[in-house]
Amino acid sequence: MSALSPNLSAATAAVVVAAGQGLRAGGKVPKQFAPWRGKPLLRHSVEALVGAGVAPIVVVIPAAWAETAEVALAGLSGIMLVPGGATRQESVRAGLEALIEADPAYVLIHDAARPDLPEAVIAALMAALEQVPGAIPVLPVVDSVVRGEAGLRTAAVEREGLYRVQTPQAFRLADILAAQRDWAGAPDAGDDAVVAQAAGLAIALVPGNERLRKVTFASDLEDDAMYAPPFRTGMGYDVHRLLEGEELWLCGVKIDHSKGLSGHSDADVAIHAMVDALLGAVAGGDIGDHFPPSDPQWKGAASDQFLAHAGALVAQSGHAIANVDVTIICEAPRIGPHKQAMRARLAAILGIDIGQVSVKATTTERLGFTGRGEGIAAQALVTVYANAAVHTKPE
Q: What is the CATH number of the domain that holds 158?
A: 3.90.550.10
pLDDT in tens, 160-179: 899 999 999 999 999 999 99
CB atoms within 10 A of CB 259: 19
pLDDT at 8: 52
* pLDDT top residue among 295 and 278: 278
Find the mean pLDDT for residues 272-288: 94
Find the mean pLDDT for residues 241-260: 94
DSSP 2-45: ----GGGGS-EEEEEE--S--GGG-SSS-GGGSEETTEEHHHHH
Task: Please indicate, yes or no, whether residues 357 and 222 belong to a single structural domain of this protein.
Answer: no
pLDDT at 395: 36
Residue 1 in any domain: the answer is no
Cis check: omega of the bond before 168, within 30 degrees of 0: yes
CB atoms within 10 A of CB 260: 21
> Where in the sequence is the domain holding 339, given as residue range(s)?
231-386
Task: Please indicate, yes or no, whether residues 284 and 160 belong to a single structural domain of this protein.
Answer: no
Distance (Å, whole) CA 240 – CA 38: 33
Task: Fill in the amino acid letter for 295.
Answer: D
Report residue 238: phi and psi, to 5°: -150, 155
Task: Please indicate, yes or no, whether residues 250 and 363 belong to a single structural domain of this protein.
Answer: yes
Task: Please indicate, yes or no, whether residues 41 and 171 belong to a single structural domain of this protein.
Answer: yes
User: For the chain, first and last CA: distance in Å?
Assistant: 39
Residue 395 in any domain: the answer is no
pLDDT in tens, 41-74: 999 999 999 999 999 999 999 999 999 999 999 9
Looking at the DSSP assignment, which residues form a beta bridge with residue 326?
A: 359, 380
Task: Please indicate, yes or no, whether residues 199 and 238 belong to a single structural domain of this protein.
Answer: no
Looking at the DSSP assignment, which residues form a beta bridge with residue 380?
A: 236, 326
Q: Is the pLDDT at 4 greater than 80, yes or no?
A: no
Task: Please indicate, yes or no, whether residues 89 and 152 belong to a single structural domain of this protein.
Answer: yes
pTM over 0.85: no
Residue 300: in which H helix or E strand, if any? none
Residue 392 in any domain: the answer is no
Torsion angle defined by CA atoms of residues 28, 31, 36 and 39, in that order, rounded to the nearest 10 degrees: -80
Domain boundary among 226, 253, 269: 226
pLDDT at 374: 95
Task: Please indicate, yes or no, whether residues 76 and 138 belong to a single structural domain of this protein.
Answer: yes
Domain boundary among 226, 250, 270: 226
Q: Is the separation of the CB atoms in 366 and 372 below 8 Å?
A: yes
Q: Is the separation of the CB atoms in 93 and 58 below 8 Å?
A: no
Task: Please indicate, yes or no, whether residues 239 and 311 belong to a single structural domain of this protein.
Answer: yes
How big is the chain, counted in residues? Answer: 395
Residue 204 in any domain: the answer is yes
- The proportion of the chain whose per-residue pLDDT surpasses 90, expressed as a percent, equals 70
Residue 203 in any domain: the answer is yes
Domain boundary among 205, 226, 247: 226
pLDDT band of 316, cuts 50, 70, 90: confident
pLDDT band of 299, cuts 50, 70, 90: confident
Task: Fill in the amino acid letter for 59.
Answer: V
Instruction: Kindly give the residue spans of alpha helices, DSSP state H, lying in the chain.
Output: 41-51, 66-72, 88-97, 119-128, 173-182, 192-198, 218-223, 269-281, 287-290, 304-316, 339-350, 368-371
Q: Is the pLDDT at 274 greater than 50, yes or no?
A: yes
Q: Is the pLDDT at 3 greater than 50, yes or no?
A: no
pLDDT in tens, 353-362: 999 999 999 9
pLDDT at 221: 65
pLDDT in tens, 207-228: 999 999 988 766 666 655 445 5
pLDDT at 109: 98
Task: Please indicate, yes or no, whether residues 141 and 30 belong to a single structural domain of this protein.
Answer: yes
Distance (Å, whole) CA 293 – CA 74: 23
Coil, strand or helix: which one is 218?
helix
pLDDT at 357: 96
- Output the CA–CA distances (angstroms, integers) from residue 39 to 268, 307, 314, 315, in the order listed: 30, 20, 10, 9
Coil, strand or helix: which one is 292?
coil
Total domains in the chain come to 2
Residue 272 in any domain: the answer is yes
CB atoms within 10 A of CB 83: 15
Task: Please indicate, yes or no, whether residues 357 and 254 belong to a single structural domain of this protein.
Answer: yes
Task: Please indicate, yes or no, whether residues 91 and 167 belong to a single structural domain of this protein.
Answer: yes
Task: Please indicate, yes or no, whether residues 214 and 249 belong to a single structural domain of this protein.
Answer: no
pLDDT at 296: 84
Find the mean pLDDT for residues 233-238: 96
pLDDT at 1: 32
pLDDT in tens, 367-377: 999 999 999 99
Provide the CATH number for the domain around residue 253: 3.30.1330.50
- The proportion of the chain whose per-residue pLDDT surpasses 70, expressed as a percent, equals 90
pLDDT at 345: 96
